[in-house]
Amino acid sequence: MSGHSKWSTIKHGKAITDARRGKLFTKLAKEVIIAAREGGGDPGVNFRLRMAVQKAKDQNMPGENIERAIKKATGEGDDGAQMIEALYEGYGPGGVAILLETLTDNRNRTVSDVRSTLTKAGGNLAEAGAVAWQFEQKGVIMVETAEDQAEELALIAIDEGADDFETYDSTLEIFSTPGSLESIRTTLEQNEAKINSSEVSMVPSHTIELDDRAAIQTLKLLDKLEDLDDVQKVYSNADFSDEALDQYGAETA
């Protein structure tokens, strides 16, 4: 398994167990709100809202929080500031590509925070289109499974339309087209798979392997970017060695 996928797996597990729940739920609520505003408040006919609601449920966000976010988006709750989506692109240590999805009510604040965070870490903000071409939109499902069951579940997913998969310890990561994501998840659940998350993500078409020094710098930068209030998702094409991931994990434990 590549160091990039291993980082994605570790990051997801950390988000479940260690993230400050209040901040996490705020970001999840933002996703629900923007999805409901874009396509309506009925998850049955709004694919993006279904994905946002499922992601919130995967993170154990209370149902009343989800309903409140939908009502706020459809005008049944308190009016809030109008949020807009913005995509930012940049480079980190070693020239790795970084892609940021944000939801904000103040573009000037967001771009200032993103630029400052990148610059302090030795990176820089890039022009639109500079790195986005290196990423492809994919459905990504994370399954917790015993090592001897991973291949069987992967084959089930492939039969349902999955493109590829990778494994790391007790995690199976399945990749698909966004349109196949729901049916693959449903089939896996019918086969009693324990799904940790399923979402539409941006997956790099190639990765850059970093030396341990640049890897640690990049891992610190990605964490700082994810901590920014307006940043919803952070993607990178960095590839990390097991040693760098273990070292960084020990430093942040």
Q: Distance (Å, rounded) from C-alpha 75 to C-alpha 34?
A: 12
Q: How far apart are CA 87 and CA 25, in angstroms?
A: 21
What residue type is assigned to position 39 of the chain?
Answer: G
What CATH superfamily classification does 84-123+207-252 receive? YebC, transcriptional regulation domain (3.30.70.980)
Q: Is the pTM of this model over 0.85?
A: yes
Residue in this structure with the two tokens 């001897």, named with its chain if needed: 148
Q: List, for residues 138-194, the tens digit of each pLDDT value.
A: 999 999 998 889 999 999 999 999 999 998 888 899 999 999 999 999 999 999 999
Separation of alpha carbons 160 and 26, rounded Å = 33
- The domain made up of 134-204 is a member of CATH 3.30.70.980: yes
Tokens read off for 81:
């500031």
What pLDDT is attached to residue 178?
94
φ/ψ of residue 129, rounded to 5: 90, -5
Q: Give the C-alpha separation, 72 to 78, whole Å.
A: 6
Smallest CA-to-CA distance from 97 within 89, 86, 105 is with 89
Choose which CATH entry (1.10.10.200, 2.30.110.10, 3.40.640.10, 3.30.365.10) describes domain 3-73. Answer: 1.10.10.200
Same fold, 84-123+207-252 and 134-204: yes
What tokens appear for 98 in the block? 């970084």
105-141 pLDDT, tens per residue? 899 999 999 999 999 999 999 999 999 999 999 999 9
The pLDDT > 70 percentage for the chain reads: 90
- State the pLDDT at residue 11: 67
| 1 Cβ contact partners less than 8 Å away, ≥ 6 residues apart | 166, 167, 168
Q: Read off the tokens for 143.
A: 């399954």
* For range 215-236, the mean pLDDT: 93
